[in-house]
Amino acid sequence: MQKARSKGGIMEIKSCDTLEELRKEIDKVDEKIVELIAVRNDYIKQAAKFKHTVDEIKADERIEDVLNHVRHKALSLGVSPNMVADLYKEMIDAMVETEIAEFRNKGSF
């Protein structure tokens, strides 16, 4: 097995013998990615309780920090920083909407 090294640890990369086996491994990675997105989304929902205005949710400076961080991480792992940043922009846009909805609902409890 090859090892893909990352700052946070090592993920085993299996050497696959068939395209079918390779696709199954990619599917496993995709499931993990979706699980991590769900975890991030849950944290975003929690963040709403610390915000006092919708403007605080639309924190442009924080978003720029996150995008810079993931660009650098992507570069360090040999992945396209633009692709990763584009994915994050889409995810952040959706999660900002989730956080705004959570923020507006927090007063109704």
Whose CA is closest to 33, among 41, 44, 22, 45?
41
Model pTM? 0.82
Distance CA 67, CA 12 (A): 26
Structure tokens at 28: 């496993």
The structural domains of the chain, ordered by start, are 14-108 (1.20.59.10)
Whose CA is closest to 32, among 15, 9, 54, 52?
9
Distance CA 77, CA 6 (A): 7
pLDDT in tens, 28-64: 999 999 999 999 999 999 998 899 999 999 999 999 9
